[in-house]
Chain A
Amino acid sequence: MKLSAQSKAFAVLLSAGLFAGCSSTGETQDDGAYGSDVAAIDQEGGSTVYGGDDQDGVSSSAMTEEERMAAQQQAEQEALRDITVFYFDFDTAEIKPEARDVLVAHAQFLANNPGQQVRLEGHADERGTKEYNLALGERRANAVQRFLIVNGASRGQMETISYGEEKPAVMGSSESDWAQNRRVELVFE
């Protein structure tokens, strides 16, 4: 009982952390990208294209808005793609709901960049047996691979490997250490 309450609390923490991580990195990158993009559009579009010949101010501002949206979306996607580690519950290979948007962003990036390769490294925590954990790490990597394929990446871009419990992200034997070690890492090459 206590255990599951704890792991739930941790899961909430983790997802909160993930969420906070997204929005904060999102904002910083957003500001920079958005600001410079707008400045460039204003200078070029304003003075050379629209300001001189074209009378249609409405159409001009609509274009800018569209581009702004696209730029913002791209920045958000890029920010999502900063997250490359995905966590799992004990003895499962189920992708957590909070990981889905991020994985979709990775899948779209892979789809848009067919030359890009990624290695999916599956890991387990130290509990249980080494050989079973090796298979479990592989199952987790495969689950991520399937998710990426369904969302547009192609199999040829991906390589999976399992390290089982051999390469923990953190040493230690607490619930929170274990939670950080049950993971799949995306390594872009």
Chain B
Amino acid sequence: MLLRKLVTVLTLVLVTAGTVRAELLIRITEGADAAIPIAVVPFAEAGNIPAGDKLSTVVQSDLAMSGEFSPLPAEKMLSLPSKREDVFFRDWRLLGQRYVLVGELTRKGDRVSARYELFDVNTEERLLGETAAAPASNLRSLAHHVSDKVYEAITGVPGAFSTKLAYVTLDTFKGKPRYRLQVSDVDGKRARIRLESQEPILSPAWSPDGKKLAYVSFETGKPVIFIHELASGKRTKAADFPGLNSAPAWSEDGRSLLMTLSKDGNAEIYRMDLATKKLTKITNHWAIDTEASWDHTGDGLFFTSDRSGGPQIYYKESERASPRRITFGSRYNARPRPDNSGKFVYYVHQRDRAFHIARTNLKSGEETILTRTESDESPSVSPNGRMLIYATKQGADSVLTVISADGGAAYSLPASEGDVREPAWGPLVR
């Protein structure tokens, strides 16, 4: 009886600890040169709209974060229209704006509904006119949804502001390392701790439906691949063979995992069917083969191998095809992550003493170094292919940095304390 009570109390403490979070801060370090001017007018409000960040503020911040937009500060606006009749296009043209977004929030019971319209200032054409609703406690989700729609209406590419990030923070607690696997919005807000351990947590990977994470945890004293259902918190060991169990990557149908195992002597890439646990060996070489990732077709895969003497990126058109080397530009190229268009593969690239993120155009073979920072790791491409997140160092701290996929704009997400690393950009979830 007493024991049960104790257990309940402990569980409660854990749950509470799970909701208290070390939020990431956002710091925009660099804007793109050709950012599109857009006026996001503060939305009119009818009824009891929850206090806190305004929807328009979140939308402005999302669009600025992408590096592709330059939102007009509200204090520079000459009027604050909330519907078409009140929009004086001449004023917005004078302010140099290309687009203007107006709208209104209405409280309906537990929900808040947003009616919003996007106009092209030059043609005075309405590009978007929609309503969307969300629980009143979830205004941020509503704001990210509006950002997604605006982004898509203007660029033709779906926005990725409603997607999630997974990452690992590391700090010291009572003299011991404290690793925490966390999931947050892409702007670092609403972080929630999913796993806490004194032992390393690595390589989080999103299932295609965004409901599960696979990752490597040392909690049992060695690297083991776990699958973690986010809604229930239920965890299962996917791979716990002797030696390495690492570098998990999901297939597009969510039914299998690519992984690196060394149970037969050295690091090789396998595919595990998750229902049957059956393994298919995909590489077979005395070299290190690891960091596999499916390409956009779901048939081919990229991986790292040091069969040429140092780590380089290789590609197999299918599981059985012979590997083709992709990178030649320097002695160290590793951890490939292809985008979903098949155009580019992103990876860690050593130049002189520094490690940068680079990408190779798969058609032309042209390689571009995207970052100027020097200890860059773990690139992860946004699901719309427009942005990239990676881990780097600022002074002694490890931080996450987001850049546009061509290396233009940047913002960083430092942890409020300690290190943050191993970012994984979640999928678009409809």
Asked if A and B bind, the verdict is yes
Residues of A within 8 A of B202 (CB): 130-131, 134, 164, 166
Contacting residue for A135 out of B218, B260, B310, B332, CB 8 A: B260
In the complex, whether A128 has a CB less than 8 A from a CB of chain B is yes
Complex formed: what's the CA distance from A142 to B265 in Å? Answer: 9
Complex formed: what's the CA distance from A97 to B377 in Å? Answer: 33
Contacting residue for A163 out of B200, B334, B348, CB 8 A: B200
Contacting residue for B334 out of A132, A164, A167, CB 8 A: A132
Q: For residues 210 through 232 of chain B, which have their beta carbon under 8 Å from a beta carbon of chain A?
A: 218, 221-223
In the complex, whether B266 has a CB less than 8 A from a CB of chain A is yes
CB pair B222 A161 closer than 8 Å: yes
Q: Which of B96-104, B242-250, B381-389 faces chain A?
A: B242-250
CB pair B200 A136 closer than 8 Å: no
Q: Which residue of A lies closest to B304 (CB)?
A: A132
In the complex, whether B185 has a CB less than 8 A from a CB of chain A is no
Residues of A within 8 A of B266 (CB): 135, 138-139, 142
CB pair B332 A128 closer than 8 Å: yes
Residues of A within 8 A of B311 (CB): 91, 128-129, 132
In the complex, whether B350 has a CB less than 8 A from a CB of chain A is yes
In the complex, whether B353 has a CB less than 8 A from a CB of chain A is yes
Assign chain B's interface to a size class: 35 or more
Complex formed: what's the CA distance from A135 to B216 in Å? Answer: 13
In the complex, whether B339 has a CB less than 8 A from a CB of chain A is no
Q: Which residue of A lies closest to B199 (CB)?
A: A166
In the complex with contacts A126-B375, A129-B377, A138-B267, A91-B332 CB distance below 8 A? yes
In the complex, whether B355 has a CB less than 8 A from a CB of chain A is yes
CB pair B223 A134 closer than 8 Å: yes
Q: Which residue of B lies closest to A137 (CB)?
A: B244
Quote the shortest CB–CB distance from A122 to chain B (angstroms).
10
Residues of B within 8 A of A135 (CB): 244, 246, 260, 262, 266-267, 288, 290
In the complex, whether A8 has a CB less than 8 A from a CB of chain B is no
In the complex, whether B378 has a CB less than 8 A from a CB of chain A is yes
Residues of B within 8 A of A91 (CB): 306, 310-311, 332
CB pair A166 B246 closer than 8 Å: no
CB pair A129 B304 closer than 8 Å: yes
Q: For residues 45 through 103 of chain B, which have their beta carbon under 8 Å from a beta carbon of chain A?
A: none
Complex formed: what's the CA distance from A129 to B304 in Å? Answer: 10
Residues of B within 8 A of A126 (CB): 375
CB pair A131 B218 closer than 8 Å: no
Besides A129-B348, A129-B377, A132-B306, 19 other A-B contacts (C-beta < 8 A): A91-B310, A126-B375, A128-B334, A128-B355, A129-B311, A129-B378, A130-B422, A131-B247, A131-B304, A132-B304, A134-B246, A134-B247, A135-B244, A135-B246, A138-B262, A138-B266, A139-B288, A162-B244, A163-B200
Task: Please list the 5 inter-chain residue pairs (A to B) with the smallest Cβ-Cβ separation, ordered nearest first.
Answer: A135-B267, A166-B200, A135-B288, A129-B335, A129-B334
Question: Can you pick out 16 interface pairs between chain A and chain B where the beta carbons lie within 8 Å of each other?
Answer: A91-B311, A91-B332, A127-B350, A128-B355, A131-B260, A132-B311, A132-B334, A135-B246, A136-B288, A138-B244, A142-B265, A162-B244, A163-B218, A164-B202, A166-B218, A173-B393
